[in-house]
Amino acid sequence: MQRTFSSFPSGWAGAALLVLRLVVGASATFESGLTIAHNYTPVHMATMAAASVAIAGVSLIIGFLTPVASLFLCLTGAVIMGIIPPAALLLFNSRMAAFEFVVMSAVLVILGPGAISVDARLFGRREVAIYRASRPNDS
């Protein structure tokens, strides 16, 4: 995870990433709830897809494995935009709204979770102390 980002931004940048994660995660979770409630024709397939999107949305909200969850939502949103006709979209009732969701998910893939996240606690900056080892010949 550390190789993906140069740092976990804190301050206003970290707060902005938290808001972005909350918006994308909540809208994905809400969209999946609407999908489950709508009962599409292949019910088991739609329910499994919606459940996986809900899990990714909750993962984004808490900031756990943010790049993986964001990439999953980005790809899922792009596929849905290409397959489902605009009249069948529930929460994202236009192609532009779905496109904005995909772009926000892609931004989270690139920028990362920020300092206010589980990822920052698990994979954040570490202080490494390097002590000079004494050699036998040093005087």
Burial class (CB in 10 A: 0-12, 13-18, 19+), 107: middle
- Strand ranges inside the chain, DSSP E: none
What the block records as the tokens of 69 is 């969850």
Q: pLDDT (tens digit, 9 = 90+) per residue, 26-40? A: 998 988 888 788 776
- What pLDDT does 57 receive? 92
Measured in residues, the chain has a length of 139
The model's confidence at residue 2, banded by pLDDT at 50, 70 and 90, is very low
Distance CA 111, CA 115 (A): 11
Rounded distance between C-alpha atoms, residue 54 and residue 26, angstroms: 9
User: pLDDT for 51-109, tens place per residue?
Assistant: 888 999 999 999 999 999 999 999 888 887 777 665 555 556 677 878 888 899 999 99
